[in-house]
Structure 1
Amino acid sequence: MRTIGVLGAAAALAVGLAACSSGGGSGSGTTGGSVKGKTISFVPGVSGDSFYITMQCGIQAEAAKNGMKVDMQAPQQFDASLQTPIVNGVIAKKPAGMLIAPTDAKAMVPPLLRAKQAGITIGLVDTTLAQSGLAVTGVSTDNKAGGAAAADALAKLIGQKGKVLVIAFKAGASTSDDRQHGFEQEIKKYSGIQYLGAQINDNSPAKAASIISATLAAHPDLTGVFATNQFAAEGAATGLRNAGKQNKVKVVGFDAGPVQVQQLQRGDVQALVAQQPYQIGTQAVDQLVASLTGKKPTAEIGTTTTTITKDDLSTDTGRQAVYKTTC
């Protein structure tokens, strides 16, 4: 599940599709002209999100190598009720394939089932579905491993002792759930850390701030927070500032878009777990092309994460981890 993007960025995202052609995809190359001129529809989870912009750049670049076109339309919020009519519109256009980040593992099954029945080859990116068999491939971050990386980073920041909390952004979204569960499994390895559980902020910074305030009232000795997206981190930082606990309570965030990097530079968070959205895009196109040309695609591909701190931003590793805002 992705974050609620800046609404005005939707137009820029669409324009950017035509320009995206750089980067380092794995490259399936041309396929004898069998997919040339065909279209891939890209339906991200939300408009204006740098994670999806970076993924879009990878999709566009890899599609161009195969002589394919890409069109994109994104919902204004990470919401199945807004993504469903977009999928219905894609069905009407009848592209050769669709790459989609389902905004809900269950609610997006019916519209994607209709897309499959209409003969559209489907690939999943970033998020998954509760029903298997609808997509020929699924390419996403190993979010459980990402959650585990966040647990390790937070444990290091707090000296492997104290009380920690997870603020998860949306129940039912596979990414949010997996990050939470990965964190929960890994944090058990640290005997000096007491896990206070997870609370849901529903992508609301204000709700995340309220969660922090209530947790500090009950546990004034709180030492760490894993905020599973930018809005959880933003709200956590607000709650900690209001309580005079900023930098005293350590925060690990997720993703490395402009907002998250600013949070890291300001000290709102002390570490970020960055995904590889460009590679997700290129690999998803490769698998879709394989399916469209009669080859066997890889059903599931998991990509890795990179943990960065403020000091890492001046290194090659840190710079490469930061997401794009344009292609």
Structure 2
Amino acid sequence: MQRLLVAGVSIAFAIASGVGSAGAADKKVLAFVVNGASDFWKIAEAGMKKAQGELPNYDLQFKYPEQAAAAVQQRVMDDLVAAGAAGIMVSAVDPKNQTDHLNKVASQTVLFTTDSDAPQSKRVAYIGSSNTDLGKEAGKLMVKALPNGGKCVGFVGLPGADNARERIEGVKDTIKGSKVELVDVRGDEIDQTRAKRNVEDILAAMPDVSCLVGFYSYNTPRIYEVLKEAGKLNKIKIIGFDEDPITLGGVKEGSIVGTVVQQPFEWGYQGMKLMANYIGGNKSGVPANGIIIVPGKVIEKANVDDFMASMKQMLKK
């Protein structure tokens, strides 16, 4: 399937910034609705704040549901629609089972998806990562870290979300034929306490586990904490996703093999501008298949310092 590829801040589609001025009461609302509370989303929020400076005719709002549940997320979107929001960008908690509701939202406002797509819905476009490709990169790190093979266990927030399912599939495709096995994946519904307990349970049940994979941003820090408490750092390989400070610190010190990161700043920045442009009548930035890919990156010890410096700069904006 043909996809529009977006690299860094150089976007292939043309985006017109807002012009003129408007009073607060005249501003159209564009909302970014996430799937749960996580520090990961602060990066996307920073991107949205940059976009706000370039879209004076819009009021950009970032929404955190108080619970990582489809029903709660749906209520947030219903409230936004009732208040007259011109557009919503959402990382769907459970895309498959939310399709009917997402279609209802799409019938009343402009709907985009990010992070976790809902391809069966009537959303205008998805802007985010290819989660399958991210999973493949993680699989390469696993094979590299375990040349003689071994048993691995993964941890994820929402097993039913497209981003989780596709990452896991990408890992499995890459390790197929090697001696590395992904023997289990534990879900936690974006519950930090449960996420840590899942790691503790695996250590107790599987003394022969060779590597642990954190599929969501907060999973890798919980893995790191449990292994450190158990005195098993550097004895069990850790592979992560996303750019949590604990994860990056572990990569820097060598206790985490590497992490596969996305570019959530661009989702917030370019995504909001694209949505405003679309609402304004310029639809040229949306490809025929509605998929806009922002590539990920693999962060290892050799490039972690440069990446951390770039992160610091982005969060200043």
Matched, 1:256 2:243: yes
Matched, 1:313 2:304: yes
Aligned residue type for 2:180: I
**2:75 & 2:316 partners in 1: Cα distance?**
26
Measured on the aligned residues, the alpha-carbon RMSD in Å equals 3.1
Aligned residue type for 1:98: I
Aligned to 1:175, the other structure's residue is in SS state helix
Question: Which of 128, 135, 149 is residue 147 of structure 1 equivalent to?
Answer: 135
**1:130 & 1:106 partners in 2: Cα distance?**
9
Distance 1:111 1:223, change over 3 A: same
Residues 19, 56 of structure 2: 8 Å contact kept? no
1:215-264 per-position Cα deviation (integer Å, ceiling 9, x unaligned):
45564332212111244324433443455432111111111033433444
Aligned residue type for 2:40: F
List aligned pairs for 1:180-195, cutoff 5 A. 180-189=168-177, 191-195=178-182
Counterpart for residue 200 of structure 1: 187
Residues 134, 167 of structure 2: 8 Å contact kept? yes
Aligned residue type for 2:182: Y
Aligned to 2:303, the other structure's residue is in SS state helix
**1:258 & 1:51 partners in 2: Cα distance?**
10
Question: Which of 82, 89, 105 is residue 79 of structure 2 equivalent to?
Answer: 89
Structure 2: gaps (5+ residues): 1-7
Counterpart for residue 48 of structure 2: 59
Residues 145, 179 of structure 1: 8 Å contact kept? yes
Aligned to 1:307, the other structure's residue is in SS state strand
Matched, 1:222 2:209: yes
Once the two structures are overlaid, the 10-residue window that deviates more, 155-164 or 172-181, is 155-164
**1:65 & 1:248 partners in 2: Cα distance?**
48
Counterpart for residue 160 of structure 2: 172
* Cα shift at 1:145: 1.0
List aligned pairs for 1:150-165, cutoff 5 A. 150-165=138-153
Distance 1:323 1:159, change over 3 A: farther
Aligned to 2:96, the other structure's residue is in SS state coil
**1:177 & 1:218 partners in 2: Cα distance?**
24
1:162-198 per-position Cα deviation (integer Å, ceiling 9, x unaligned):
2222223222111111111111111114x23233232
Aligned residue type for 2:130: D
**1:322 & 1:197 partners in 2: Cα distance?**
35
Counterpart for residue 72 of structure 1: 62
Distance 1:157 1:295, change over 3 A: same
Distance 1:218 1:24, change over 3 A: closer
Structure 1: gaps (5+ residues): 1-22
**1:160 & 1:319 partners in 2: Cα distance?**
35
The share of aligned pairs that are identical, in percent, is 21
Give the aligned length: 300
Counterpart for residue 291 of structure 1: 278
Question: Which of 254, 266, 270 is residue 279 of structure 1 equivalent to?
Answer: 266
Distance 1:95 1:231, change over 3 A: closer
Distance 1:52 1:90, change over 3 A: same
* Cα shift at 1:295: 2.4
Distance 1:268 1:108, change over 3 A: farther
Distance 1:211 1:94, change over 3 A: closer
* Cα shift at 1:321: 5.2
Residues 87, 111 of structure 1: 8 Å contact kept? no
Residues 40, 96 of structure 1: 8 Å contact kept? yes
Residues 36, 190 of structure 2: 8 Å contact kept? no
Residues 151, 226 of structure 1: 8 Å contact kept? no
Aligned residue type for 1:308: I
* Cα shift at 1:322: 6.6
Once the two structures are overlaid, the 10-residue window that deviates more, 63-72 or 138-147, is 63-72
* Cα shift at 1:152: 0.9
Residues 29, 66 of structure 1: 8 Å contact kept? no
Residues 99, 118 of structure 2: 8 Å contact kept? yes
